[in-house]
Amino acid sequence: MNRPIPPLVGARFGDDWWQRGVIYQVYPRSFADSDGDGVGDLGGIIDHLDHLGPDGLGIDAIWLSPIYPSPGLDLGYDVADHERVDPLLGSEEDFDRLVAEAHRRGIRVVVDLVMNHTSDAHRWFESSRAGRDGPHADWYLWRDPSGSGPDGRPLPPNNWGSIFGGPGWEWEPRRLQFYFHTFMAEQPELDWRTPAVEDAQLRMVRGWLARGVDGFRLDVFNVFLKHPDLPSNPTRAGATAWDRQLHLYDRDQPDFPALIGRFRAVLDEEPGRMSVGELFDGTIETAAGLTTDRHLVFEWSLIEATWTASDIRSVIGVRESAFGAGRWPTAVLSNHDRPRHASRLAASIGAGDPDAISRAAAVLLLTVRGTPFLYYGEELGMSDVDIPSEESVDPPFSRFSPEFHLWDRSRCRTPMPWSPGPGAGFTTGRPWLRLGPDAETRNVDAQLADPTSVLSTYRALIALRAATPALQVGSLHAHPDGGGEVVAYTREIPGQVILVLLNLGRRDATWRLSAVAGESGWRPLVRTAKATAADEAIAIGATLILAPDEGLILEAVRPEA
C-alpha cells in the first residue's frame, strides 16, 4: 500500500504547528453521517471539513478518535486491527480521501493510537490465548496463578486492579494462566517488554505515516510498561479499589521515556510530525516530566478546575511552574471521557449563563500558554445530554459496580447538530445516540447567523490567535493587578504584549488599565459580552467594566516613535 503522501496546501504554520496551531478532536461516530445509517463516518467528516478549515473555524489539525475495526465495547478503544479502517466508518479509500481533502485545506490529520491494549477479538490475542507455543504466545501479560483458594480456584498473580472496577486479572483456561487488563477484560494488555510487540507497533506507526498522517494521540501511554517482575502494589486509604493502591508497578516505569524516544525517532525521520500522550491517572508533574520537544502530554488540571477566579488563577500558576519555560503544555477543557465544559463549569458554581461561560472559557482555552485541543461541539456550547440507561452506549458504565467511578460517557458523545430539522443535519436516518434536546436551535447554521454566538466567538478567537504570535508562543505572566474575581494575565514576545481579562465573579467588575511596559494605551481585540470590540485604543488609566463571565483580550499600543 504505497500511496503518495497528499501534499498539505496552504497550512498556516510550518513544522512547529503542533505548538502554534489549534487541534480539534472529532469523535467519528458522532460528527456527521454520510450514508444514512445513523452513525457518523469518514465521509461525513469529509463533507464538513469546510466547517473546520480556513473559511470556517480555522483549526490547524483534526484528531480522530479511533477509526479501527472494533467490537465496539469501548467504542473503538478496543481495537481488533490497528492497520485498517472500521467498515462502520468507511473504507480504506475513504480514509485516504479524508487525508487528501484535509491536506488540500491546510488541515493536518492526527490519529488516535491505542497501543496499550487490544480487543480480545484481535488476531494477536486470539493466537496468544490459544496456547503457550504460538507466534504471539508472549505478546500479552500472561502469568501463572499465585496459588489456589480454599475452593481450589486459581488466585491472581498480584493485587493489580482494573480502573473499570474489579480485579485486573482474567483466567484463561486454555493456557491455565491469567492475563492482565487495566481496562475491560475484553481489552487485554500487550507486553511491551516483548521486542516483537514494539517492532509490530512501530511498523504499524510507519504504515499510518506512509498514508500521510501528521501525528498521533497515544491512548493511556504511561501505562505501556509495567515493572518486569509484576510485584503487588502497596496499598493505602482511598474511595475506590483503584485509589486504594499506590500505582508504583503498573505504570510510569523508569525505562518508559526511552520507549517514547524510540517512537519519536520514527516520527522524526520527517520534520513536522507531532505526538501527544494521554496521561492516565497521574499528576501534572508526571505529565511535565514526560513532555519532550514535539511530544506533548495531556494533563487534567484545567479540565478538573472549578469556574472560580481563585481556582483558574491557581491552575494557571500550577501549569506554569510544572512545565516551566522549557516544556510546552496542552490546554483541554472537554474530551470524550469527561462532562462537557458548558455543563461542568456552570455546575461547578451552581450559577451562570452556560453560553456566556462557554465564550469566556474559550478565551481561556485559546490564550493560556499551551496547545489548545477542542472537542467537537464545544464551539457550539454543546452540553451533556441526559441519556436513559437503556440507551447508554458506554459498556464500562453499564457494568457499573460500587468500585467503578465513571459516569455514562454517552452523555458527552451525542451527535453534532448541523442544522434545524429532523436529524439536525447529522443524519437522514435514526441517530445511533440521541441528539441534544436543544439541537433545533443550537446548531452550526443557527450560530453562524448570530455574531454573538459561541461559534462566532470561537471563530473570532481562533482567527485572532492565528494572527497573534504572542498568543501562540509568548510567555505567560500573571498580571500584578489581577485579583478578586478578575483573572488577568499577559502573553508576551519581544514587541508584542497581549492582556487577557476574565471576570469570573457573579457581578460586574471594574478594571483600571495600567501600563505594563511603557505602552500608551490598550486596543481591545475580542470582547465576549459584545459582538465586536471597539477599534480605538483605550488610554492608560481608563476604567473598564467587565460583565460576569466576560472575557476581554487587549493588545498594548506602543507610543508613536
Residues designated as active site: 219, 269
What is the spatial distance between Cα 327 and Cα 309, in angstroms, rounded to a whole number? 25
Q: How far is the CB of 136 from ligand TEU (least distance, A)?
A: 20
What is the spatial distance between Cα 331 and Cα 320, in angstroms, rounded to a whole number? 12
364-391 per-residue burial string, b: 16 or more CB within 10 A, e: under 16: bbbbbbbbbbbbbbbbbbbbbbebeeee
What is the spatial distance between Cα 538 and Cα 542, in angstroms, rounded to a whole number? 7
393 binds ligand TEU (CB under 6 A): no
Piece in contact with ligand TEU (CB under 6 A), picked from 203-211, 289-297, 330-338, 429-437: 330-338
What is the spatial distance between Cα 111 and Cα 66, in angstroms, rounded to a whole number? 7
Q: How far is the CB of 281 from ligand TEU (least distance, A)?
A: 6
403 binds ligand TEU (CB under 6 A): no
Q: Which CB sits closer to ligand TEU, 115 or 316?
A: 115
Binds ligand TEU (CB under 6 A): choice among 280, 328, 376, 489: 280
What is the spatial distance between Cα 404 and Cα 469, in angstroms, rounded to a whole number? 44
Contact (CB, 8 A) for 545 and 355 = no
Q: Which CB sits closer to ligand TEU, 268 or 337?
A: 337
Binds ligand TEU (CB under 6 A): choice among 39, 98, 220, 309: 220
**Identity of the amino acid at 402:** P
Helices (H), 211-294: 256-267, 284-289
Q: Which CB sits closer to ligand TEU, 219 or 519?
A: 219
406 binds ligand TEU (CB under 6 A): yes
Considering only residues 178 through 197, tell me which ones interact with ligand TEU, judged by CB under 6 A. 183
Piece in contact with ligand TEU (CB under 6 A), picked from 152-160, 332-340, 347-355, 521-529: 332-340
Cα 376 off chain centre by:
10
74 binds ligand TEU (CB under 6 A): yes
Considering only residues 337 through 356, tell me which ones interact with ligand TEU, judged by CB under 6 A. 337-338
What is the spatial distance between Cα 543 and Cα 510, in angstroms, rounded to a whole number? 7
User: CA 366, 367, 368 angle in degrees (round to 5)?
Assistant: 105
Q: How far is the CB of 118 from ligand TEU (least distance, A)?
A: 10
Size of the site for ligand TEU (CB under 6 A): 13
DSSP 254: T
Contact (CB, 8 A) for 100 and 109 = no
Name the region of 70 (left: φ>0; alpha: ψ -120 to 50; beta: rest).
beta
Q: Which CB sits closer to ligand TEU, 29 or 359?
A: 29
243 binds ligand TEU (CB under 6 A): no
Which residues is 147 bridged to in the sheet?
Answer: 155
Binds ligand TEU (CB under 6 A): choice among 31, 77, 139, 192: 77
Piece in contact with ligand TEU (CB under 6 A), picked from 100-108, 331-339, 380-388, 532-540: 331-339
Piece in contact with ligand TEU (CB under 6 A), picked from 336-344, 487-495, 521-529, 538-546: 336-344
Q: Which CB sits closer to ligand TEU, 56 or 396?
A: 396
Contact (CB, 8 A) for 387 and 344 = no
Q: Which CB sits closer to ligand TEU, 211 or 336?
A: 336
What is the spatial distance between Cα 164 and Cα 412, in angstroms, rounded to a whole number? 18
163 binds ligand TEU (CB under 6 A): yes
Binds ligand TEU (CB under 6 A): choice among 67, 107, 114, 267: 114
DSSP string, 43-62: HHHHHTHHHHSTTTT--SEE
What is the spatial distance between Cα 447 and Cα 192, in angstroms, rounded to a whole number? 47
404 binds ligand TEU (CB under 6 A): no
The residues binding ligand TEU (CB under 6 A) are 74, 77, 114, 163, 183, 219-220, 278, 280, 336-338, 406
